[in-house]
């Protein structure tokens, strides 16, 4: 049985040199996520069908800006509305206290969808053309975020068999019991595995919406599975049918993905329609 290493969340502290600057590991993981997105999305713009549509590196940079706004606004509002609506209704100003933590992936995804729609409208592009470009580039950002969760010792897993070789004690939980390192499970599933699947699938031209649908289905299913190993939020616990909030939010994601997959399969391929 292992014990969480208790990393210092501050990667670089310059206050000792008289500079009011502390760089947190979580901030670094965000920078890594943004850098990977720029690199991977730029590679995808070079695929023949995207290149023919005139996609450029500048488009990718603008997409990143829109996406960051969508993630922050959507992620925060998602946490407020999905997880603690009553508390924030009583403390409305706390909605803006993002530095205190509290972001929800599913809310962030909805925020990004709105941001991508705004980008598509401004540039005169199809919404699904934008999301199909972006989808395979998202899982590496999710993987980076899960590493940040692990470094911070947050979002730990449920109790595990102490005999499990990688079972881990998270002192931050307040209980000295063996747990699943669920952050690493999510890093491997929603991050690396989903990235490999989408990247390989997206290397060939697909009907509009199919790559986006694959992301929605893949993330929804893998998140649903990972939630069985992740400790539910203490202020929510388990909900109806003994499912967590993360699982309930993943179900409509899978449903939309399946519907989009079927719809996309009935549309003519781009080259056939030309």
- pLDDT tens profile 180-198: 999 999 999 999 999 999 9
Q: Is residue 155 part of a domain?
A: yes
Q: Is residue 271 part of a domain?
A: no
Q: Is residue 180 part of a domain?
A: yes
Note whether 222 and 193 are within 8 A (CB): yes
Average pLDDT over residues 12-19: 80
Nearest-5° Cα angle at 204, 198 to 208? 80
Which residues contribute to the annotated binding site?
Answer: 146
Question: What pLDDT does residue 207 have?
Answer: 95
pTM as predicted: 0.89
Question: What pLDDT does residue 274 have?
Answer: 32
Give 244-249 contacts, CB < 8 A, sequence gap 24+.
245/82, 245/83, 246/106, 247/223, 249/82, 249/104, 249/106
* Residue 271 confidence class, pLDDT cut points 50, 70, 90: very low
Which percentage of the chain shows pLDDT scores above 90? 70
Q: Is residue 272 part of a domain?
A: no
Question: Of 10-19, 61-70, 249-258, where does mean pLDDT reach its minimum?
Answer: 10-19
Note whether 252 and 216 are within 8 A (CB): no
The total of structural domains in the chain comes to: 1
- pLDDT tens profile 88-130: 888 788 877 776 667 787 788 889 999 999 999 999 999 999 9
Question: Of 38-47, 91-100, 168-177, 258-267, where does mean pLDDT reach its minimum?
Answer: 91-100
Q: Is residue 195 part of a domain?
A: yes
Question: What pLDDT does residue 85 have?
Answer: 85
In 154-239, at which residue ranges do the beta strands (DSSP E only) sit?
Answer: 168-169, 178-179
- Torsion 96-36-250-263 (CA) sign: positive
* Helix axes of 25-45 and 127-134: crossing angle, nearest 10 degrees: 120
Average pLDDT over residues 60-71: 93
Which pair of tokens denotes residue 86? 């009553």
Residues 6+ apart with CB under 8 A from 257: 212, 213, 214, 215, 216, 217, 218, 220
Q: Could you tell me how far CA 250 lies from the centroid of its own chain? A: 12
Q: Is residue 256 part of a domain?
A: yes
Q: In whole angstroms, what is the distance from residue 44 CA to residue 132 CA?
A: 10
Which pair of tokens denotes residue 96? 């803006």
Q: In whole angstroms, what is the distance from residue 8 CA to residue 236 CA?
A: 29
* Residue 79 confidence class, pLDDT cut points 50, 70, 90: confident
Q: Is residue 204 part of a domain?
A: yes
Q: Which domain holds residue 200?
A: 2-17+24-266
* HSE toward the beta carbon, residue 32, CA cutoff 13 A: 16
Residue holding tokens 């899960």?
Answer: 146
- pLDDT tens profile 220-248: 999 999 999 999 988 788 999 999 999 99
Residues 6+ apart with CB under 8 A from 33: 140, 141, 144, 145
Average pLDDT over residues 16-29: 83
Q: Is residue 142 part of a domain?
A: yes
Average pLDDT over residues 59-64: 96
């Amino acid at each position: 049985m292992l014990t969480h290493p208790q990393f210092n969340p501050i990667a670089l502290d310059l206050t000792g040199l008289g500079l009011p600057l502390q760089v947190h590991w979580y901030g670094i993981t965000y920078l890594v996520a943004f850098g990977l997105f720029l690199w991977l999305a730029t590679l995808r713009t070079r695929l023949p069908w995207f290149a023919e549509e005139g996609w450029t590196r500048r488009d990718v940079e603008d997409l990143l800006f829109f996406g960051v706004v969508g993630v922050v606004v959507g992620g925060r509002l998602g946490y407020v509305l999905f997880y603690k609506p009553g508390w924030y209704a009583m403390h409305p100003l706390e909605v803006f206290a993002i530095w205190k933590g509290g972001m929800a992936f599913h809310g962030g995804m909805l925020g990004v969808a709105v941001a991508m729609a705004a980008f598509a409208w401004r540039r005169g592009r199809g919404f699904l053309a934008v999301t199909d470009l972006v989808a395979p580039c998202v899982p590496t950002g999710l993987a980076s975020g899960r590493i940040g969760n692990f470094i911070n010792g947050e979002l730990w897993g449920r109790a595990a068999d102490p005999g499990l070789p990688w079972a881990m004690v998270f002192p931050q939980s307040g209980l000295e019991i063996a747990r699943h390192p669920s952050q690493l499970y999510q890093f491997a599933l929603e991050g690396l595995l989903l990235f490999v699947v989408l990247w390989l699938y997206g290397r060939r031209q697909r009907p509009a919406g199919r790559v986006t649908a694959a992301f929605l289905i893949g993330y929804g299913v893998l998140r649903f599975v990972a939630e069985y190993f992740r400790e539910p939020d203490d202020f929510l616990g388990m909900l109806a049918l003994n499912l967590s909030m993360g699982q309930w939010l993943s179900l409509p994601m899978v449903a939309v993905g399946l519907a989009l997959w079927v719809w996309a399969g009935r549309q003519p391929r781009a080259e056939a329609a030309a």
